[in-house]
Amino acid sequence: MAEKSRIGVTGLAVMGANLARNIASRGVPVAVHNRTYAKTEQFMADYASEGDFTASESVADFVNSLETPRKIIVMVKAGKPVDGVIEELTPLLDQGDIIIDAGNSHFPDTVRRTAECEANGLRFMGVGVSGGEEGALLGPSIMPGGDPAAYEEVREIFESIAAVVGGTPCVVHVGPGGAGHYVKMVHNGIEYADIQLIAEAYDLLTNVAGLDAPAVGKIFEEWNTGDLDSFLIEITGKVLAQTDEKTGKPLVDVIVDQAGQKGTGTWTAIDALNLGIPLTGITEAVFARGLSALRSERAVAAKTLAGPNPAKEADDESLVEDIRQALYASKVVAYAQGFAQMRAASVENDWGLKLGEMATIWRGGCIIRARFLNRIREAYDEHPDLDNLLMVPYFTEAVANAQDAWRRVIVKATEQGVPIPAFSSSLSYYDGYRRERGPANLIQGLRDFFGAHTYKRIDTEGSFHTRWAQDGTEVRTD
Ligand code: 6PG
């Protein structure tokens, strides 16, 4: 009888296949399975020589090829397919076996599946995995959530396959229940904001500073050597430098300007709304993708709606530097908001998230990996209960230094009719956050006028209602 495998992977599309290969490359025997057997056969034909793989056609054989407690990574499309796999596995598994959903599942589904599996004596983990195909193969950032004892069973394997930064693997047990998938969701939300900010900078450099794609690509390459140093800035330089084989033009110039999305950014924004956390950067990024999708409507509106057209200015170094600073300050705000959201969700769900650890495991392997996550980590190491990242001296100063440029860019873009929803909403958030007294007093007055919703006074405890439309008398209502 062949030796049992230490871990199994079911779902051998690129992410699953690469994760299986990554695990096997660490000398761990891996059982592999796919709903369609042809894919498993193809996997074995391509990669069997890379490690100790056991392939099974049936789920039962797959389950039997694993040592107990079984550890099964499910890498299938989020949604119904995950439930389908769990249903199939459940009757074949023993008490204490561990099902690990490593796809981009929505965290409420993870909470539900955890309870369902527990009711069947099984352990369930919702694990965020970031880094795309290459990350899965060479070292992703891993955000495991669920039963801590179950995590201990896979910890060694996860630590061996994760990306490593400064000797520290980019994996840590994030928290119980849906915490891992929640953190992955916010990671993706921040990814949306990062990408949108980059797109706005590209738009300004192209349509206001009048630069062509290769020139903008060089600027991003240069920016990647400073505070903005990150994977997304790096690949922006590469994407902009690519020439289209067919036309000889920059490839970006022949790509349709409609952004796709699979839903994680939208989930992040919806959850922020539910929590009452201002998450303007990520939410505007989701809206911008929605607006980009209205391509045929935009084509008509472009000929109908009035507005200034960007007056392409001669290449202006100070404008380029202003855009860099605006990008950096907006990015700081987007991260401050995303981390504030994780903090609120942790309190709401009693997850005990350690935000410094989240910054630590995002330093490598994942899509938003960036130099400045070191600073975020330091900030939370020093102040674990920090309300807002903007309040630590490093970021307070960074934004203070950038804010004049940030404002100039927003004025210029607005004057010239270039949309910058993430830049400008981030600045509005910043200006709103740093204001001791905003205009919500009037909102309260209006609510009380039309709906007797009451208000609080700055000088007296209690709730009050004014009979605005009658005799103007104020009454205490509590
Ligand atoms: C990652 C990515 C990955 C994927 C997103 C893209 O961390 O490896 O975030 O999860 O690329 O699904 O999301 P959209 O298709 O919604 O842009």
Three-state SS string across 241-275, please? HCECCCCCCEHHHHCCCCCCCCCHHHHHHHHHHHH
Long-range contacts of 439-447 (CB under 8 A, 24+ apart): none
Parallel, antiparallel, or unpaired for β 123-130 and 474-476?
unpaired
Residue nearest to atom 14 of ligand 1 (CA): 261
Residue nearest to atom 12 of ligand 1 (CA): 262
Distance 139 CA to ligand 1 centre (A): 16
Which helix (H) or strand (E) segment holds residue 327: the answer is helix 317-349
- Rounded CA separation 33/51 (Å): 15
Judge whether 26 and 89 are in contact, CB under 8 Å: no
Looking up tokens 């349509």 gives: 207
Q: Is the CB of 96 under 6 A from ligand 1?
A: no
Q: Element (H or E) spanning 99, and its range?
A: strand 98-101
Distance from Cα 262 to the centre of ligand 1, integer Å:
7
Does the Cβ of 194 fall within 6 Å of ligand 1?
no
By three-state DSSP, how is residue 143 classified?
strand
For the record, the structure tokens of 255 come out as 């790509």
Tokens of 293: 């999708």
Predicted local confidence at residue 149, as pLDDT: 96
Task: Give the atom of ligand 1 at the shortest distance from the alpha carbon of 128.
Answer: 7
Q: What is the residue with the minimal CA distance to atom 1 of ligand 1?
A: 130
CA distance 253 to 207: 13
Mutate to test the pocket of ligand 1, among 104, 133, 134 (most ligand atoms within 8 A of CB): 104
230: phi then psi, degrees, rounded to nearest 5: -165, 165
**Given the DSSP bridges, would you call strands 474-476 and 455-456 parallel, antiparallel or unpaired?**
unpaired
Tell whether ligand 1 has an atom less than 6 A from the beta carbon of residue 18: no
Q: Count CA atoms closer than 13 A to 63's CA, side-chain side.
A: 15
Token code pair at residue 47: 């990669």
> Residue 114's closest CA among 66, 181, 15, 174?
181
Please report the pLDDT score of residue 315 as a whole number.
Answer: 62
Would you call 191 a catalytic residue per the annotation?
yes
Whether ligand 1 lies within 6 angstroms of the CB of 207 is answered as no
**For residues 100 and 16, is the Cβ–Cβ distance under 8 A?**
no
In the residue annotation, 77 being an active-site residue is answered as no
Locus of tokens 């369902």: 116
Burial of 197 (0-12, 13-18, 19+ CB in 10 A): buried
DSSP at 75: -
Q: Is 261 in the pocket of ligand 1 (CB under 6 A)?
A: yes
Distance CA 467, CA 415 (A): 44
pLDDT, tens digit, 9 for 90 and up, residues 306-316: 999 888 776 67
> What is the position in ligand 1's atom list of the atom closest to the CA of 188?
9
- Cβ neighbors of 335 (< 8 A, separation 6 or more) are 190, 372, 376, 389
Rg (CA), the chain: 25
Exposed, middle or buried: residue 296 (CB in 10 Å: 0-12, 13-18, 19+)? Answer: exposed
- Spell out the residues 6+ positions from residue 43 whose beta carbon is closer than 8 angstroms to its own: 12, 17, 20, 32, 34, 53, 55
Nearest CA to ligand 1 atom 4: 132
Strand ranges (DSSP E) for 159-269? Answer: 164-165, 168-169
Ligand 1 centre distance from Cα of residue 188 (Å): 6
Ligand 1 mean position to 264 CA, how many Å? 8
Query: Does the C-beta of 34 come closer than 6 Å to ligand 1?
Result: no
Q: Answer whether 367 contacts ligand 1 (Cβ < 6 A).
A: yes
Torsion of CA 60, 13, 123, 161, to 10 degrees: 120
Q: How many CA atoms lie within 13 A of 245 on its CB side?
A: 0
Separation CA 181–CA 186 (nearest Å): 9
Q: Give the integer Cα–Cα distance in Å for 423 and 188.
A: 19
128 lines ligand 1 (CB under 6 A): no
Q: Measured in angstroms, how far is the CA atom of residue 181 from the centroid of ligand 1?
A: 13
Q: Is 131 in the pocket of ligand 1 (CB under 6 A)?
A: yes
CA distance 388 to 447: 29
Q: Whose CA is nearest to atom 17 of ligand 1?
A: 261
| Ligand 1 atom closest to residue 289's alpha carbon, by position in its atom list | 17
209 touches ligand 1 (CB under 6 Å): no
CB of 142 sitting under 6 A from ligand 1: no
* Side chain identity at residue 299, one-letter code: A
Q: What is the distance between the alpha carbons of residues 416 and 208, in angstroms, rounded to a whole number?
A: 8
Name the stretches of the chain with pLDDT < 70. 1, 314-315
Ligand 1 centre to CA of 191 (Å) is 8
pTM of the model: 0.96
Catalytic option among 71, 153, 191, 200: 191
Catalytic residue among 41, 71, 80, 184: 184
Using the atom order of ligand 1, give the atom closest to the CA of residue 261. 16
Ligand 1 atom having least distance to the Cα of 366? 7
Query: Which sign, positive or negative, has the C-alpha torsion 369, 209, 414, 433?
Result: positive
Instruction: Specify whether the CB–CB gap between 54 and 110 falls below 8 A.
Output: no
Q: What is the pLDDT of residue 232?
A: 98
Q: Whose CA is nearest to atom 10 of ligand 1?
A: 130
